[in-house]
Amino acid sequence: MRKTILLGMVLLSISVACAVPTTQNPTATLHPTPWEEAAGALWVRILSPADNEIVTARSVEVQGEAPADTVLSINDEILVVSADQAFSLPVELEEGVNVIEIVASDYDGNEVFFIITVTCQP
């Protein structure tokens, strides 16, 4: 009787362990937000969008935080972070996979970058 219960528990444990998916979804988010990168005294935190995000809208708001006076280029736009350390910029999307490229640098020459892909699926 004890052997049967023990065997049952072992098999039950194995079946529960098998329930954990082992194969990664190819479209899974690689960098969940907030996504933060740092170099020297420079740090940049991207709050949205998330990498691999799928949206239905034709534009997305790139939002994040960085020290004041950080220079940012977001695709073809250039901006300087204000004293409140927050930045926000709308980016137009085309249908399909879009690449949003963010480069940030500071006075001392520290630099970080982000390459975010957003899929527009209206």
Q: Which residue carries 């399909």 as its tokens?
A: 96
Three state DSSP letters for 44-73: EEEEECCCCEEECCCEEEEEEECCCCCEEE
User: Nearest approach, Cβ of 49 to other proteins (angstroms)?
Assistant: 14
Q: Which of 2, 25, 56, 84 binds other proteins (CB under 8 A)?
A: 25
Q: Which of 60, 65, 80, 88 binds other proteins (CB under 8 A)?
A: 80
Q: Quote the CA–CA distance of 34 and 44 in Å, as a whole number.
A: 10
Contact present, 45 and 72 (Cβ < 8 Å): no
Which stretches of the chain bind other proteins, using CB under 8 A?
1, 4-5, 8, 11-12, 15-16, 18-28, 52, 54, 69, 71, 73, 76, 78-80, 94-99, 101, 103-109, 111, 113, 115, 117, 119, 121-122
